């Protein structure tokens, strides 16, 4: 399956799986069983099947987020000059305000940056009874008067869908009245089984209302867009630095450190580089269909993958000078990487990690741990789909259920005036034969060791049970898990917001991460901790269904 050594024997992994399921009533266990998979190549040489992107079981404490979170908090949120209004009760706007670390940098003091603000219609009981559209119109007008933005985005929260406010009609009217782009999104929290639905809704809206709307062509011999990079902890800044050093023009990212202006120019790019496949693969496909811009998967998490992605980029353009520049950049950047690895790897080699994060990082960060010689014993996504686990080849066989049908699929056609395939079919075939992952993503499982445990939408109970059974040296997850895990005396590194650290992308990011992991795993505090419940249990109980 990969060059990685087995992390557990298959039998051991099966035992752990059985113990995890043991506490559940039969019906629940039957469902969870399909979402907890021992990684093992089948006879066809392919990853095993896993169940993913299905409804969380009632009663299980999930780490997932809602559709509104995926739409506003993840995909559209990082764009600094689109004024964003949450149509809903104040809590939704409040909790999606500066709670993540998308950074942004204006080019000058006169540039719009609305990211420090959180705008909400603050729906009240009487609006729920009599409707909230009037209030929304008023809010859009007020916001326009105060900020004079180029564009306004409106996000729907759960009650908006339940009472039937037509945010799209309001957006259309306001767009006409104000003469700027105003668009609404039906991204009610309940719309999908997780935030993943919100990604799709945001992709559709940005593609429809923003992409291609700026006719000004950016300069540059090599032009790329970076898709699925949200500038958490300054990751995009680090990637911008690398691309600039190569003389490659980054037209826009989707959407870390991006603007309405740059996203409008996206169709001028020669290629789309896809970081987070889960959140943005829709956009990559739609841009290819409409404008002829191909995409390939990159990974800038880890020094090795960063070097590989830069080489692929040079290969795509087939330019000898660019390739030479890439090689010397890699060599220069690797000096600091090697130095840091020589220091920390002996202190971390062989240590074990569990990693349950989102829809792409549980995969991307595995390379960083391999560079440190650490073993990923178990990993999983919260809301990814089967393709993110098993590879895009399984997409035709993914069952479309009622929940997925709930999310609109845009019908996209060639834009006859602007469509131009950037590479011929023959060129694409040649690039693929050289190993460029064009239109492809292999997924997480193919890179994980045999006998590792892959767990989708892990529950709180399972996390604690795994700690007891596996006794990992480190756990990577988010804020919901952090303090519970640390009370067990096990360090937890947040891979959503990076705690206070980062950037972790690119070569300098890798060095930051190596240091951080050494600091955490080899910190002396953990051994001294005894969980309060180990010292003096205050409660005891048993599962009702077992009595």
Query: Residue 412 Cβ, how far from ligand CFM at the closest point, in Å?
Result: 22
Query: Residue 359 Cβ, how far from ligand CFM at the closest point, in Å?
Result: 3
Of 121 and 195, the one with the shorter C-beta distance to ligand CFM is 195
Enumerate binding residues for ligand CFM (CB under 6 A).
Answer: 70, 74, 195, 228, 230, 232, 276, 278-279, 357-361, 496
Query: Residue 229 Cβ, how far from ligand CFM at the closest point, in Å?
Result: 8
Of 16 and 476, the one with the shorter C-beta distance to ligand CFM is 476
Of 127 and 390, the one with the shorter C-beta distance to ligand CFM is 390
Query: Residue 364 Cβ, how far from ligand CFM at the closest point, in Å?
Result: 8
Query: Residue 486 Cβ, how far from ligand CFM at the closest point, in Å?
Result: 19
Query: Residue 478 Cβ, how far from ligand CFM at the closest point, in Å?
Result: 7
Helices 361-371, 506-521: crossing angle, 10 deg rounding: 80
Of 175 and 253, the one with the shorter C-beta distance to ligand CFM is 253
Residues 6+ apart with CB under 8 A from 478: 63, 357, 494, 495, 496, 497
C-alpha–C-alpha distance, residues 36 and 52, integer Å: 10
Partners of 86 in beta bridges: 120, 155
C-alpha–C-alpha distance, residues 389 and 350, integer Å: 24
Helix, coil or strand: residue 378: strand
Please identify every residue annotated as catalytic.
66, 69, 100, 199
128 closest CA partner among 85, 157, 170, 169 = 157
Of 232 and 377, the one with the shorter C-beta distance to ligand CFM is 232
Write phi, then psi, for 184 (nearest 5 degrees): -110, 160
For 81, 88, 235, the CA distances from 275, given in Å and listed in that order, are 23, 31, 11
Core vs surface per residue 513-524: b (16+ CB within 10 A) or e:
bbebbbebbeee
Token pair listed for 514: 């190596």
User: Are 274 and 281 within 8 A, CB to CB?
Assistant: yes
For 443: left if phi > 0, alpha if psi spans -120 to 50, otherwise beta; the answer is: left
Query: Residue 485 Cβ, how far from ligand CFM at the closest point, in Å?
Result: 17
Give the dihedral sign, CA 21/24/30/31: negative
Of 289 and 497, the one with the shorter C-beta distance to ligand CFM is 497
**HSE on the CB side for 393, CA within 13 Å?**
12
**HSE on the CB side for 280, CA within 13 Å?**
28
Residues 6+ apart with CB under 8 A from 66: 158, 189, 190, 194, 195, 198
Q: Would you give the end-to-end CA distance of the chain in angstroms?
A: 43
Residue of this chain nearest to ligand CFM (CB atom)? 358
Token pair listed for 45: 């040489």
Write phi, then psi, for 19 (nearest 5 degrees): -65, -35
Query: Residue 63 Cβ, how far from ligand CFM at the closest point, in Å?
Result: 9
Of 61 and 162, the one with the shorter C-beta distance to ligand CFM is 61
Of 273 and 276, the one with the shorter C-beta distance to ligand CFM is 276
Of 359 and 491, the one with the shorter C-beta distance to ligand CFM is 359
73 closest CA partner among 198, 224, 208 = 198
For 46, 262, 391, 449, the CA distances from 454, given in Å and listed in that order, are 15, 38, 14, 10
For 230, 251, 373, 427, 496, the CA distances from 103, given in Å and listed in that order, are 8, 18, 31, 37, 14
∠ CA 120-125-128 to the nearest 5 degrees? 80
């Amino acid at each position: 399956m990969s060059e990685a050594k087995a992390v557990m024997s298959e039998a051991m992994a099966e035992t752990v799986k059985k113990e995890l399921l043991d506490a559940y009533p039969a019906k629940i266990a039957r469902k969870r069983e399909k979402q907890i998979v021992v990684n093992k190549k089948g006879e066809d040489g392919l990853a095993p099947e896993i169940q993913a992107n299905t409804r969380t079981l009632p009663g299980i404490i999930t780490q997932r987020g809602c559709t509104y979170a995926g739409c506003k908090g993840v995909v559209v949120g990082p764009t600094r000059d689109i004024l964003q209004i949450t149509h809903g009760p104040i809590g939704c706007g409040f909790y999606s305000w500066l709670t993540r670390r998308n950074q942004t940098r204006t080019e000058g003091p006169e540039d719009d940056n609305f990211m420090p603000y959180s705008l909400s219609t603050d729906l009240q009981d009487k609006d729920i009874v009599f409707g909230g559209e009037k209030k929304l119109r008023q809010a859009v007008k007020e916001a326009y008067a105060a900020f004079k933005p180029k564009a306004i985005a409106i996000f729907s929260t759960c009650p908006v869908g339940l009472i039937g406010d037509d945010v799209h009609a309001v957006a259309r009217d306001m767009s006409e009245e104000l003469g700027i782009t105003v668009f609404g999104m039906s991204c009610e929290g309940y719309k999908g089984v997780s935030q993943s639905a919100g990604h799709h809704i945001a992709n559709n809206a940005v593609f429809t209302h923003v992409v291609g709307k700026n006719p000004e062509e950016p300069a540059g011999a090599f032009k790329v867009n970076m898709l699925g990079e949200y500038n958490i902890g300054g990751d995009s800044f680090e990637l911008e630095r690398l691309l600039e050093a190569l003389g490659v023009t980054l037209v826009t990212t989707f959407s870390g450190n991006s603007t309405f202006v740059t996203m409008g120019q996206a169709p001028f790019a020669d290629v789309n580089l896809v970081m987070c496949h889960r959140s943005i693969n829709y956009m990559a496909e739609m841009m290819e269909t409409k404008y002829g811009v191909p995409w390939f998967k990159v990974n800038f998490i880890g020094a090795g993958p960063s070097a590989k992605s830069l080489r692929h980029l040079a290969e795509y353009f087939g330019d000898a000078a660019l390739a030479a520049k890439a090689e010397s950049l890699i060599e220069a950047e690797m000096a600091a990487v090697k130095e840091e690895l020589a220091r920390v790897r002996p202190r971390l080699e062989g240590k074990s990690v569990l990693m349950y994060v989102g829809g792409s990082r549980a995969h991307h960060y595995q390379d960083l741990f391999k560079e440190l010689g650490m073993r990923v014993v178990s990993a999983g996504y919260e809301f990814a789909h089967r393709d993110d686990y098993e590879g895009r080849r399984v997409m035709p066989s993914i069952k479309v259920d009622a929940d997925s049908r709930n999310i609109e699929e845009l019908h996209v056609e060639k834009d006859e005036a602007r469509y131009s395939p950037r590479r011929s079919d023959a060129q694409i075939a040649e690039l693929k034969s050289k190993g460029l992952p064009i239109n492809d993503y292999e997924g997480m499982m193919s890179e994980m060791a045999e006998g590792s445990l892959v767990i989708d939408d892990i529950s709180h109970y399972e996390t604690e049970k795994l700690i007891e059974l596996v006794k990992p040296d480190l756990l990577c997850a988010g804020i919901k898990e952090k303090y519970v895990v640390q009370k067990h005396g096990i360090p937890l590194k947040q891979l959503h917001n990076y705690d206070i650290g980062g950037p972790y992308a690119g070569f300098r990011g890798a060095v930051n991460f190596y240091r951080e992991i050494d600091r955490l795993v080899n910190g002396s505090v953990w051994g001294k901790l005894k969980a309060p419940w180990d010292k003096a249990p205050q409660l005891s109980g048993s599962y009702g269904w077992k009595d």
